[in-house]
Each structure stands twice: as C-alpha cells, then as structure tokens.
C-alpha cells in the first residue's frame, strides 16, 4: 500500500443496510487499515431509499469508525456535480465501497473522484466493465459473468451473518443461538430473555407495515398465550421507532385496524427506572416486552420462533437460523410500500402513492413468488409465508403446532443454516479495499 493518506467512501441507503452491512464493514476496515484519521478517513454518503425513516444519518454517525456522513436528501446534487452539501474535501487517493443503493452510483462517483470501486453484490453484479472489484455473497452471483471479468470477483460470504457474529462474539457472555439453554447470563440479562419459550414479534418499523402488523401479531400472541401461558413475547423495537409511536398502532382510538383483527388494544407501560423495562399490556392482560437494544441478535437467537413481516427482518432471522412465519396481511392493500427500486419509489409518491401501492401489491400478489429472503436464497419455501386476509387464530394454531413439534423447528433451523452464505465477509471486503488502495499511484 502506498504511503499517501486516502479516503474511503461508503455508499449506502436504508436502515437495514446501515445496520447489517455498513456497521461490520467499517469495523473491519478500521481493524485492517488502522484508526489514524490523518491516514484513513471514512465517509458515508446516503442515497434515497423507500424504506428510509429519516434517521439513517444519525445511525451512521453513531459508528465511531465513521468520520462524516451526508444525508440522502443531498445525494442527487453529489451524484450529478460531485460536490457534497458541506463541500467536503477529498484526498487524491481513495476507494468507493458500495453497500446499498443502485450499482451505477459507484460507477458515476468513482469517475468523478478518480477512486477505485468495490461493490458488495448480494444477488446480482452489474457494470462489470466499469467496477474494479466485486465481493459477492455466493458463487451463484458470478454465473453469466463474462470470463474476461472473472478476475474481479471474489466470494466473500454473507455480510448480514458477519454483523451478527461481530455482535455475539463481542459479548463477554454469550447465549447459544437457537438454544433453550444459555451458556451464561450476564447480570443485566432479564430473566424473561432466558425463558425456554420466547417468541419474537417483528411487525416492521414503518407505519405502512405497523398499521396491520402490530394488532395482528398482538392478537396472535393472545391466542398462543391462552393455550401456553408459559410463553413469553418480545418486540425488538427498531432504532428508528419510539415507544409511543409503536404503542399508537395498538390503540383502537388511533388505529382503525386494531378491531379488524378482533383485538381490543394494548397500552404502553413505561418503567420509571428505565425505558429498557417498558412493555405493552393488552386488554386481556398479556404483557409484551419491548427490547430497545440494537441490533437485537442476541435476543433473537433465543427465540423459539418469530412472527415477522417481509423485508430485511427475514434475512436477519435467516442468517441467525431462527425459525419464522412471514406474515403479509392484505386487509389494507396499499399498506405495503417498501418494495425495492422503482416500485418502492412509485408507491411512496405524495398523493398518488396509495394508488400505485394498491396496483403494485395486487400485481405482486397475483404472481405471488417467494417473499422471504431465506426462501429466495433457497428457491423453496423453507419458512412459511402467509399472504391474504390473515386471521389471528389460524396463524396462532400454526405456531402452536410448530411449538408442539420441536423436531420441525429443528429442521427449519438446519435448512436456514445451509442456505446462508459464508461468514467473514466484512474482513474479506476490507482486504479487497486494502488491495485496491495499493493499486493507486502505480
């Protein structure tokens, strides 16, 4: 590597990518390249994303490895003219690392800054002739790549798996993933986390999903608890969601879909000592724990099964090997507005977005393919996907059946572990970046 100071520019977009891709990569980069900011500076530039919450810049800035962050609202100015909103300076040597967005972005920005480009490609690699290096999740991504570009590709594994491993191995005491028996318990771990029967509820992080997801999943939890009172339930609260907003979706006065699912509502109980001990208490007396530590991989690893909506949650659970049932209720057809690419942008347009969402979702449901990431990875339905006007009792019966057949849950775990990528992806990407820096100035 040359002795010139250099910049690393991370291009990313949504909250899922920031948590599961950017976090492990910037840590690996600092470990590989050092913490001297006069030598290595790490910047993050965000691009628009239909799943964005507006708090992505704050999440990126919370990573101590990152030096500066530009919000998504200023992205197009940067892409077109090469200038950031705060008119950042750029060193003469640098590497762009693509971790979310459109793969054309590093091509354009790399040309403007004169930087090498490294793309993490989870499912598809594009612009082979213009990108310098690709780190791909699986060898299948390289199929169809012209032989003359094969030297650019390296299988690095699953970044999402790496994010979880980083967190779990950083704990002074670990919990065995997917096991009912913890290796050890740190003094701060609540007793209910160590329950032998913990179910995770993941209704989403945005209003479009929460409107149906919260009352549906809480109603399911009530049915299960009536049959199995020993069962505990927890909602890992998204970092972009405050407790009061979450609770509003369980309030029949604020959310008309509460009654749609035969649910009577729930109230937020905030602990006087700590918000970490806050809960939702349903009208029937069931207590749902609210977990605010993020990422919640250690907690999720203890869940016997999770109920989740479509999206990044399914990939995280799949990488952890946690059984799940994926729920896509259609009582509100315009609720799903988190599709990737152009469909997601159209569905979120002001005024006409609802109409686009209804049409897009109708088309998607007509041709219903696999929706959960583990199922897409495997090209088969490893975890159940339930789509339609879902009824809480029917979903609860399915959960109860799986809890009564632990061998079935073990089978799902085994399949999930087989389809996920290799570990160590962040470290391998950091090594690729190191190699590309060494090529500059030659």
Residue 166 has pLDDT above 80, yes or no: no
Quick one: pLDDT at residue 115? 95
Domains 6-158+422-439 and 173-419 share a fold: yes
Residue 212: cis peptide before it, omega within 30 degrees of 0: no
CA distances from 351 to 195, 212, 346, 355 (A): 46, 21, 11, 9
- Give the long-range contacts of residues 164-167, CB within 8 A, separation 24 or more: 164/20, 164/295, 164/297, 164/316, 164/319, 164/320, 165/423, 166/23, 166/24, 166/27, 166/426, 167/295, 167/297, 167/298
Fold observed for domain 6-158+422-439: Rossmann fold (3.40.50)
Q: Could you read off the pLDDT of 365-400 as tens digits, one per residue?
A: 555 567 888 888 788 999 999 988 899 999 999 999
Residue 418 has pLDDT above 90, yes or no: no
Residue 272 has pLDDT above 90, yes or no: no
Query: How many helices (H) does the chain have, and how many strands (E)?
Result: 17, 15
Q: What's the whole-number average pLDDT of the chain? A: 84
pLDDT average, residue stretch 52-67: 89
**Strand locations in 133-226 (E):** 133-136, 153-155, 198-202
Distance of CA 198 to the CA centre of its chain: 21
pLDDT average, residue stretch 341-366: 53
Residue with tokens 């570009």: 149
Residue 151 has pLDDT above 90, yes or no: yes
Domain boundaries, the chain: 6-158+422-439, 173-419
More confident site: 71 or 190: 71
pLDDT average, residue stretch 299-308: 94
pLDDT average, residue stretch 314-320: 85
More confident site: 38 or 159: 38
Quick one: pLDDT at residue 174? 37
Fold observed for domain 173-419: Rossmann fold (3.40.50)
The percent of residues in the chain predicted with pLDDT above 70, rounded, is: 81
Is this prediction's pTM over 0.75?
no
Quick one: pLDDT at residue 351? 53
Rounded to an integer, what distance in angstroms lies between the CA atom of residue 44 and that of residue 39? Answer: 17
């Amino acid at each position: 590597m040359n002795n010139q100071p250099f910049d690393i520019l991370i291009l990313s977009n949504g909250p899922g990518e920031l948590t599961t891709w950017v976090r492990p990569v910037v840590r690996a980069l600092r470990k590989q390249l050092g913490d001297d900011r006069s030598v290595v500076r790490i910047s993050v530039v965000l691009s628009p994303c239909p799943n964005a919450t507006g708090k992505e810049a704050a999440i990126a800035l919370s990573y101590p490895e990152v030096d500066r962050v530009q919000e998504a609202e200023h992205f197009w100015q940067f892409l077109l003219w090469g200038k950031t909103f705060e008119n950042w300076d750029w060193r003469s040597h640098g590497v762009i690392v693509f971790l979310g967005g459109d793969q054309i972005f590093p091509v354009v920005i790399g040309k403007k800054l004169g930087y090498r480009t490294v793309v993490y490609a989870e499912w598809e690699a594009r612009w082979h002739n213009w990108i310098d290096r690709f780190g791909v999740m699986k060898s299948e991504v390289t199929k169809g790549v012209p032989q003359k570009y094969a030297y650019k590709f390296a299988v690095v594994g699953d970044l999402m798996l790496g994010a979880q491993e980083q967190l779990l191995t950083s704990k002074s005491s670990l919990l065995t993933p997917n096991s009912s028996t913890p290796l050890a318990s740190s003094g701060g771990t609540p007793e209910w986390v160590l329950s032998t029967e913990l179910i995770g509820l993941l209704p989403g992080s945005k209003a479009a999903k929460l409107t149906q997801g919260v009352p549906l999943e809480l109603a399911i939890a009530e049915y299960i608890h009536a049959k199995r009172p020993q069962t505990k339930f927890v909602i890992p609260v998204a970092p972009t969601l405050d407790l009061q907003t979450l609770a509003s979706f369980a309030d029949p006065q604020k959310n008309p879909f509460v009654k749609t699912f035969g649910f009577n509502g729930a109230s937020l109980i905030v602990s006087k000592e700590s918000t970490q001990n806050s809960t939702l208490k349903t009208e029937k007396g069931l207590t749902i724990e609210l977990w605010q530590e993020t990422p919640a991989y250690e907690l999720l690893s203890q869940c016997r099964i999770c109920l989740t909506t479509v999206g990044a949650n399914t990939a995280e659970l799949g990488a952890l090997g946690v059984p799940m049932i994926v729920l896509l209720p259609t009582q509100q057809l315009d609720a799903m507005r988190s599709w990737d690419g152009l469909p997601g942008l159209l569905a979120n347009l002001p005024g006409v977005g609802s109409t686009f969402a209804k049409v897009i979702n109708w088309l998607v449901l007509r041709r219903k393919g696999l929706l959960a990431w583990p199922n897409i990875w495997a090209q088969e339905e490893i975890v159940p996907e339930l789509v339609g006007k879902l009824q809480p009792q029917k979903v609860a019966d399915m959960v109860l059946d799986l809890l009564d057949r632990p061998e079935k849950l073990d089978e799902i775990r085994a399949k999930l572990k087989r389809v996920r990528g290799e570990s160590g992806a962040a470290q391998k990407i950091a090594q690729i970046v190191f190699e590309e820096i060494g090529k500059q100035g030659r």
